[in-house]
Amino acid sequence: MRVLLLRPQADFSEHVRYSGGTHIFRCIAETLAEAGHDVHVLYCADKAQLLFAAMQSGSMPQLAYSQAVEGVALWQQGGITHHVALTDAEQSVADQLSSAFASFGTAAAGSSANAVTAVPLLPLVMQRMIDEATSLAKSNSSSSSSSSSSSSNAQGHQHQQQQQQQQQCWVIVDADGSQDPLAPGCASLFEAAVHHLNAPTHSSSSSSSSSSSSRVLLLVQNIHFLPFGDQGTAARRPGLLAAWAAVAGVACVSNFVARYVMLHAAGLGLQPQRIHVVHCAAWNAFGRGPFEDCGAVHVKQLPYHGLDTGNASSSAEQQQQQQQQRKPVVGCLKVTPEKGGWLFLALAARMPGVNFLGVCADPALLQAAAAAGLPNLRLVPPVAEVGQLLRHVLVVLAPSVWREAFGMVVVEAMLRGVPVIVSDQGGLSEAALGAASNVVQVQPMMLPLLQQQQMHSQQLGAPAAAYSCGDVAPIWQQRLFPQQPAAVVDAWAAAVAELLGSRERYEACGVNGRSFALKLLETQPQLLQGFLKWLQQL
> How far is the first Cα of the chain from the last one, in angstroms, to the nearest whole number?
15
Considering only CA atoms, which of 160, 195, 191, 189 is closest in space to residue 177? Answer: 189
174 pairs with which residues across the strands? 219
Considering only CA atoms, which of 333, 298, 313, 361 is closest in space to residue 507? Answer: 298
Q: Judge contact between 468 and 227, C-beta under 8 A.
A: no
User: Torsions phi, psi of 174, nearest 5?
Assistant: -75, 120
Q: Which pLDDT belongs to residue 89?
A: 80
Cα torsion 152, 154, 156, 159: sign: negative
Q: Which pLDDT belongs to residue 114?
A: 45
Q: Judge contact between 224 and 261, C-beta under 8 A.
A: no
Q: What is the mean pLDDT of the chain?
A: 83
Q: pLDDT tens, 280-296?
A: 999 999 999 899 999 99
Q: Which pLDDT belongs to residue 137?
A: 93
Contact partners, residue 217, CB within 8 Å, separation at least 6: 170, 171, 172, 173, 247, 248, 249, 250, 251, 535
Q: Which pLDDT belongs to residue 476?
A: 86
Report the alpha-carbon distance of residue 446 to residue 476 in Å, rounded: 10
Instruction: Map out the domains of the chain with their CATH numbers.
Output: 2-34+89-147+164-278 (no CATH), 294-445+481-522 (3.40.50.2000)
Q: Are strands 72-77 and 64-65 parallel, antiparallel or unpaired?
A: antiparallel
Q: Are strands 329-335 and 395-398 parallel, antiparallel or unpaired?
A: parallel
Considering only CA atoms, which of 216, 219, 228 is closest in space to residue 262? Answer: 228
* pTM score of the predicted model: 0.85
Q: Which pLDDT belongs to residue 306?
A: 76
Residue 12 exposed, middle or buried by CB count within 10 Å (0-12, 13-18, 19+): middle
Instruction: Give the residue ranges of DSSP H helices in 447-502.
Output: 448-459, 486-500
Q: Which helix (H) or strand (E) holds 1?
A: none
Q: Which pLDDT belongs to residue 257?
A: 98
Q: Which pLDDT belongs to residue 310?
A: 52
Which residues of the chain have a pLDDT value below 70? Answer: 12-18, 91-120, 141-166, 200-212, 308-325, 436-437, 448-472
Q: Which pLDDT belongs to residue 398?
A: 97
355 pairs with which residues across the strands? 329
Q: pLDDT tens, 50-65?
A: 898 888 888 888 899 9
